[in-house]
């Protein structure tokens, strides 16, 4: 297989999955009027990384341990990725990267973060909106499980409220919470 042929196949697969992501964005916006759902771009990653620079007392004190800009190139090369940002009134409210398992039966939400700024533009709906969008994408591609990987233990009850089970081992290596679709 030549490099050019592989690139065409990759682009074809990327286009197919982008159409699935677009459908997931559309149904999410229909379900949650007043928000915008968009693909994750590099400027969004920069914006989310700047959340850690907020002065103390201006919002939630903890934030994600990863850097969105460092994760960006990895996920951009995954055609079967799930990526989404949520906006309300021009303010980034939440961001997520995920990916399908190799066989396509499991959809993982690997990285999730909502703005630490309070009040948040999404109110207390960041996780319900994210899990709805991820479940919609999973349904479109035929996955039967939705996972949130490495969830913050303090949020386990909140994830359970969205239909995820107790913490368990995912694929023998990581901890996650699963929702059967």
SS3 85: strand
Structure tokens at 62: 């903890």
Give the residue-averaged pLDDT of 162-166: 96
Q: How confident is the model at residue 154 (pLDDT cuts 50, 70, 90)?
A: confident
58-117 per-position pLDDT tens digit = 778 777 889 999 999 999 999 999 999 999 999 999 999 999 999 999 999 999 999 998
CA dist., res. 104 & res. 139, Å (int): 11
Q: Are 88 and 122 in contact (CB under 8 A)?
A: yes
pLDDT of res. 1: 45
Q: Are 160 and 166 in contact (CB under 8 A)?
A: yes
8-52 per-position pLDDT tens digit = 898 999 999 999 999 999 999 999 999 999 999 999 999 999 998
SS3 81: strand
Task: Domain of residue 29: give its range.
Answer: 3-180
Please state the domain count of the chain: 1
pTM for this structure?
A: 0.92
Q: Are 82 and 100 in contact (CB under 8 A)?
A: yes
| pLDDT at residue 54 tops 90 | no
CB hemisphere CA count around 102 (13 angstroms): 1
- What CATH code is carried by the domain that includes residue 77? 3.40.630.30
Q: What ranges in the chain are assigned the alpha helix state H?
A: 3-31, 42-50, 68-76, 126-141, 156-160
């Amino acid at each position: 297989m030549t490099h050019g042929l592989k690139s065409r196949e990759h682009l074809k697969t990327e286009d197919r999955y982008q159409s699935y992501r677009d459908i997931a964005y559309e149904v999410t916006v229909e379900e949650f009027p007043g928000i915008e759902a968009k693909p994750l771009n590099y400027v969004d990653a920069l914006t989310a990384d700047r959340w850690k620079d907020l002065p103390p007392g201006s919002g939630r004190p903890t934030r994600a341990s990863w850097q969105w800009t460092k994760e960006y190139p990895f996920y951009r090369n995954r055609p079967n990725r799930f990526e989404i940002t949520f906006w309300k009134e021009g303010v980034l409210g939440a961001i997520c990267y995920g990916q399908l398992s190799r066989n396509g039966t499991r959809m993982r939400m690997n990285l999730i973060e909502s703005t630490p700024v309070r009040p948040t533009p999404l109110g207390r709906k960041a996780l319900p909106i994210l899990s709805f969008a991820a479940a919609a994408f999973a349904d479109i591609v035929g996955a039967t499980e939705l996972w949130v990987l490495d969830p913050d233990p303090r949020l386990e009850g909140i994830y359970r409220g969205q239909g995820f089970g107790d913490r368990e081992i995912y694929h023998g290596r990581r901890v996650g919470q699963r929702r059967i679709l």
